[in-house]
Amino acid sequence: MPLDAAGPRLNGAKVAVVAVVGAGPAGAACAAALQAAGLAVTVFDKSRGVGGRMSTRRTRYTDAQGAEHTVHFDHGAQHVGARHAAFVQLMQAAVQAGCAVPWQPVVDGEAESPSRQRFLPVPGMPALCQHLLRGVTVQLQATVSALQRTPQGDWALTLAEHAAEPLPFDHVVLAMPPAQAAVLLAPHHAAWAEALRGVVMNPCWTLMAVSSAAPLASLTWDAQVPAAGPLAWVSRNHRRPGRATPPGCASWVAQARADWSLQHLEDDPQQVITALLAALAHSVGQPLDVHYSAVHRWRYALPAAVAAATPPAPWWDAALGLGVCGDGLGGPDVESAWLSGDALARSMLNTLPAATAR
């Protein structure tokens, strides 16, 4: 696309320039649909990779014998459930493209009901957003710290990591957890900022551990949903395709309940590791010979309830050129986040004079 001082052009017409803040499933869905319609999209994310809470941590550790190992933990979203036809289609296309596989984990000894199709991005959870964002300009380690209106009615984005001049855009999409979006929105859309501040996000302490596999040979399940105790979900992470695990070892991801996580939110991580390792051993039914352990604290893991829609979702203010999407508006999962980003893109395209015009 030819660039000139007045911005990108296609067939002589000015192309709308859009900033999408957040490279999780909502931002990736919105960016992909806008880019496919001919808009010039740049995605900004403060992290080192795309995917948001769909994340896989690559860890290196040294065992007691001094050997170095690499292990991959899916420490955020565990799998992708699909009900809505458009999302099922997207996930089937992702399977065709080799970046997801159908995934029906055995939970608590029972195969999960096939009524809801489940998928697992491969080789790690970010693969789905990487697939969506193929061909889209993405700036990583780019925290949007402020949004300003210019006298010309454009948007200027300030990046915390870059002291340079704020970057100009015609339209801005905020695709991030509600509390973070509310801060950027407050000077420009008080009603939306207030509605987002009212969305309660539950926290989640997540344990990642490696143990010897030998004593666990009789286990047949992929995941457990403990009925009581601190843990809400236990995953035998090494049974997921593509996730590196040291030979002879089992890897575990155990996610604490929201109420337990809230109660222990500011605890020392070492205390949390001790408590969650004990809960994990209890859940597995035997002591674990642990070689490695760590915790991650998700301060904003999942919305307890979604935002009251003012106006009804998706949130797009055509006059301001400002939109909001994310799971805080739709529901606590990847599918809802994707649907919210995709719907926002469609609303934007409906109100823009033409796909390529400003």
Ligand X SMILES: Cc1cc2nc3c(=O)[nH]c(=O)nc-3n(C[C@H](O)[C@H](O)[C@H](O)COP(=O)(O)OP(=O)(O)OC[C@H]3O[C@@H](n4cnc5c(N)ncnc54)[C@H](O)[C@@H]3O)c2cc1C
Stretches 172-180, 189-197, 224-232, 260-268: which one binds ligand X (CB under 6 A)? 172-180
Stretches 8-16, 18-26, 224-232, 344-352: which one binds ligand X (CB under 6 A)? 18-26
CA–CA distance, 137 with 40 (Å, rounded to integer): 9
Pairing assessment for the beta strands 223-224 and 315-317 based on DSSP bridges: unpaired
Smallest distance from the beta carbon of 44 to ligand X, in angstroms? Answer: 5
52, 124, 230, 323: which one binds ligand X (CB under 6 A): 52
| Contact yes or no for 75/55 (Cβ under 8 A) | yes
33, 176, 195, 352: which one binds ligand X (CB under 6 A): 176
Residue 185 in contact with ligand X, rule: CB under 6 A: no
Residue 54 in contact with ligand X, rule: CB under 6 A: yes
Residue 76 in contact with ligand X, rule: CB under 6 A: yes
327, 343, 344, 352: which one binds ligand X (CB under 6 A): 327
37, 232, 332, 347: which one binds ligand X (CB under 6 A): 332
Residue with tokens 């806008």: 34
Before 123, cis peptide (omega within 30)?
Answer: yes
Smallest distance from the beta carbon of 145 to ligand X, in angstroms? Answer: 7
CA angle 184, 77, 201 (to 5 degrees): 40
Smallest distance from the beta carbon of 218 to ligand X, in angstroms? Answer: 26
Alpha-helical regions (H) of the chain = 25-36, 85-96, 127-132, 178-185, 190-197, 258-263, 269-284, 327-330, 334-351
Closest CA to 206 of 127, 282, 261: 261
The residue length of the chain stands at 358
Query: Which residue number, 196 or 284, has a Cβ lying nearer to ligand X?
Result: 196
Residue 326 in contact with ligand X, rule: CB under 6 A: yes
199, 204, 272, 313: which one binds ligand X (CB under 6 A): 204
Alpha-carbon torsion, ordered 178, 330, 347, 38, to 10 deg:
80
Query: Which residue number, 45 or 222, has a Cβ lying nearer to ligand X?
Result: 45
Residue 313 in contact with ligand X, rule: CB under 6 A: no
CA–CA distance, 185 with 187 (Å, rounded to integer): 6
Q: Which of residues 82-141 bind ligand X (CB under 6 A)?
A: none
Query: Which residue number, 91 or 204, has a Cβ lying nearer to ligand X?
Result: 204
| Contact yes or no for 171/321 (Cβ under 8 A) | yes
CA dist list (Å): 329 to 89, 150, 239, 269: 22, 28, 33, 31
Query: Which residue number, 43 or 213, has a Cβ lying nearer to ligand X?
Result: 43
Stretches 48-56, 82-90, 148-156, 260-268: which one binds ligand X (CB under 6 A)? 48-56
Q: Which of residues 26-45 bind ligand X (CB under 6 A)?
A: 26-27, 44-45
- Those residues whose C-beta lies under 8 Å from the C-beta of residue 24, and which sit 6 or more positions away, are 50, 51, 52, 53, 54, 129, 175, 176, 326, 337
| Contact yes or no for 144/159 (Cβ under 8 A) | yes
Query: Which residue number, 9 or 297, has a Cβ lying nearer to ligand X?
Result: 297
Query: Which residue number, 178 or 246, has a Cβ lying nearer to ligand X?
Result: 178
Instruction: Determine the residue type at 99.
Output: C
Smallest distance from the beta carbon of 233 to ligand X, in angstroms? Answer: 8
Smallest distance from the beta carbon of 323 to ligand X, in angstroms? Answer: 13
Query: Which residue number, 69 or 188, has a Cβ lying nearer to ligand X?
Result: 188
Smallest distance from the beta carbon of 160 to ligand X, in angstroms? Answer: 8
Query: SS3 of 269, please?
Result: helix
Residue 59 in contact with ligand X, rule: CB under 6 A: no
- Those residues whose C-beta lies under 8 Å from the C-beta of residue 236, and which sit 6 or more positions away, are 219, 221, 222, 223, 250, 251, 252
* Count of residues touching ligand X (by CB under 6 A): 38
Please report, as ranges, the residues that interact with ligand X according to CB under 6 A: 21-27, 44-47, 52-54, 76-81, 143-144, 175-177, 180, 204, 206, 255, 298, 301-302, 326-327, 332-334, 337
